[in-house]
């Protein structure tokens, strides 16, 4: 039931292009990764397809998009470095067990998002 409510909420927000445009990148990041945590078999590209999002960020990632793929200033505080591929995101990509992939997606959704200049 909770999953259906989340999907309904996200779909309502994302169906309204003007509202979605006003969400901060961090909020979009949370929506993406929460969706991936709930939808254990999905990948990032399917999120954009499912919600019919036309303005797709670089690398299907709102963090990459807001810094134009400059990993040195990535707004996400990754575990080991500024490079997502060597931290939780890399773990998520490599995970083969569905429960682990879901756990990592929720973790990524809740990672600290640095303010510009931090």
Q: 12 vs 17, 20, 35, 93, CA distance in Å?
A: 10, 10, 14, 28
| Per-residue pLDDT reduced to its tens digit, 1-47 | 466 777 676 666 655 555 566 678 898 899 899 999 988 677 899 88
Residues 6+ apart with CB under 8 A from 2: none
Q: What is the pLDDT of residue 18?
A: 53
Name the nearest CA neighbour of 32 among 92, 111, 109.
Answer: 109
Question: Of 55 and 11, which is predicted with more confidence?
Answer: 55
């Amino acid at each position: 039931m909770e999953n259906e409510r989340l999907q309904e909420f996200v779909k309502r927000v994302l169906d309204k292009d003007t509202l979605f445009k006003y969400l901060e990148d961090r909020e979009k990041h949370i929506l993406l990764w929460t969706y991936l945590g709930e939808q254990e078999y999905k990948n990032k590209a399917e999120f954009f397809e499912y919600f019919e999002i036309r303005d797709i960020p670089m690398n299907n990632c709102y963090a990459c998009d807001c810094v134009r793929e400059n990993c040195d200033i990535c707004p996400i505080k990754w575990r080991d470095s500024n490079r997502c591929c060597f931290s939780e995101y890399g773990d998520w990509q490599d995970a083969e067990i569905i429960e682990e992939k879901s756990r990592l997606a929720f973790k990524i959704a809740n990672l600290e998002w640095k303010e510009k200049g931090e």
